[in-house]
Amino acid sequence: MRLHRPPLPRTRSRRRRAGVVAGALGAALALVLATLSTSVASADTAPAVPDPSEIEPGEAYMGISLDLADGGAPDRQPAPRQPTTGVQGIDVSNWQGSINWSSVRGAGIQFAWMKATEGTTYTDPRFDANYPAAHAAGVIRGAYHFALPDRSSGATQANFFASNGGAWSADNLTLPGVLDIESNPYGSSCYGLSTTQMRSWITDFYTTYKARTSRDVIIYTSPSWWNSCTGGWSGMASLSPLWVAHWTTANSPTLPSGFSVWTAWQYTSTGSVSGVSGNVDRNKFNGSRDRLLALANNTP
């Protein structure tokens, strides 16, 4: 069933909607806001993000399932921006608007994954700008695919991803693609698939992506979703690097069952980085820059 929740106690500033204007000055204030909105309509700013429980196909973003969860859910605890040491990264999509990648790199961000595709019908409108611009700024970049396992096979979606930004090149600055597989923002959490069917779907995606690109796809997921919808499956642990989503006050993330190590950790959705308007997801790589480059270049 469709997920609904009361407003979260702390949401991303880029995902807030204007509140309903009330009181005697409501009409006047609304008129002022409308005038201001018109005057800046042509500016290249981040679009207003809809409430996570009301999104339309194509509007999903990495970590939306944690935004949809109640504030006390295990994967979405209030998180300070504490792991700011080490190799830092971000992930972005259309909702960040225009990004100054030179400023991002100057702020110490070394890597970034950006949304390329969703399902088999959606390509992110900012991807074609973000992907080369990040590369030109010296940010080690990669693409991600938001999976919709109830819409088509893993092979079909892997091919769509690889053909629309998810391919890999040995240019010293390109990371392997990411399978973003998390709770369904448009329906039942596990997309109506059994744990056995979900495992088969993920294997299908992995096998096809590797055949197309020669690379092992990285899996982005949260502990609660993976444990529930794959049954804590260990079948991908030796094949795919893990990018774990766990917004927590702890110094390290909780891992999904079946995995013993993380490669990247999305530790907050409320990061702030020069060159990005509003909040942005922050990530940490589990290793040195040399190890990150080894992942990019597919070297030992």
Bridge partners, residue 180, by sequence: 146, 220
What distance in Å separates the CA atoms of residue 212 and residue 154, rounded to the nearest whole number? Answer: 13
User: How many C-beta atoms surround the C-beta of residue 244 within 10 A?
Assistant: 26
Of residues 269, 287, 288, 289, the one with CA closest to residue 279: 269
Residue 198 CA to residue 45 CA, distance in Å, equals 38
From the candidates 91, 118, 124, 281, give the one annotated as an active-site residue: 91
**DSSP code at position 197:** H
User: What CA–CA distance (Å, rounded) separates 144 from 236?
Assistant: 17
The bridge status of strand 280-285 relative to strand 87-92 is antiparallel
d(CA 31, CA 41): 15
To the query of whether residue 70 is one of the catalytic residues in this protein, the response is: no
Neighbours of 185 (CB within 10 A): 23
Query: If we measure between CA atoms, which residue out of 275, 266, 273, 217 comes closest to residue 64?
Result: 266
Set 118, 124, 182, 281: catalytic member: 182
Annotation says 44 is catalytic? no
Q: Using CA atoms in the order 147, 262, 100, 10, what is the torsion angle rounded to 10 degrees?
A: 80
Phi, psi (5° rounding) for residue 180?
-85, 105
Per the residue annotation, which of 75, 180, 216, 281 is the catalytic one? 180
Q: Which residue has the tokens 């020069």?
A: 274
Residue pair 147/180 in contact (Cβ under 8 Å)? The answer is: yes
Q: Catalytic site residues?
A: 91, 180, 182
